[in-house]
Amino acid sequence: MIVNEQLRSVAQAQARKTLEEINGVVAVVIATADGFDIASAVTCDIDPVRVAALASSISAIGSVVSQEARLGKNRSVTINTDAGFAFLSAVNRADLELVVNVIANEHAILGQVAWHCGECVKALEAA
């Protein structure tokens, strides 16, 4: 799968912006729906390639659940843990699908992450 340089550039800028603007975010990985990392920004020992692969599977499960439950198209999946959360947002483009993965610690606010992810999704869909 070929990802054009303009999209990669927008994705990298969005990953950096999300990481820098939200307290508690420790990693942002933007990946293709089939699990390949196209952009990332991390502040800790997290492997973006691994996150991309795992998030692809999690996003696919979210899509199947939303289809089976007749809830419409999947937009996001949240995984809450005792030390933070992962928030995954689907990006639906005409040429390919992407997943925005935000990994946050306990200091992050879920609503802020969701809003920023929505803005990131809009930018990626328009790129």
For residue 20, the surrounding DSSP H or E stretch is helix 5-21
Looking up residue 119, the CATH number of its domain turns out to be: 3.30.450.30
- Rounded to whole angstroms, the Cα distance separating 94 from 71 reads 22
pLDDT, averaged per 10 consecutive residues of the chain (127 residues), comes to 90 98 98 95 95 87 84 88 97 94 98 98 96
pLDDT recorded at residue 1: 67
The whole-model pTM stands at 0.92
- pLDDT at residue 74 in the model: 81
Q: What is the per-residue pLDDT for 45?
A: 93
Please check whether residue 99 is in contact with residue 59, taking contact to mean a CB–CB distance below 8 angstroms. Answer: yes
- Structural domain span for residue 112: 5-126
Burial 36-63 (b: 16+ CB within 10 A, else e): ebbbbbbeeeeebeebbbbbbeebbebb
Number of domains in the chain: 1
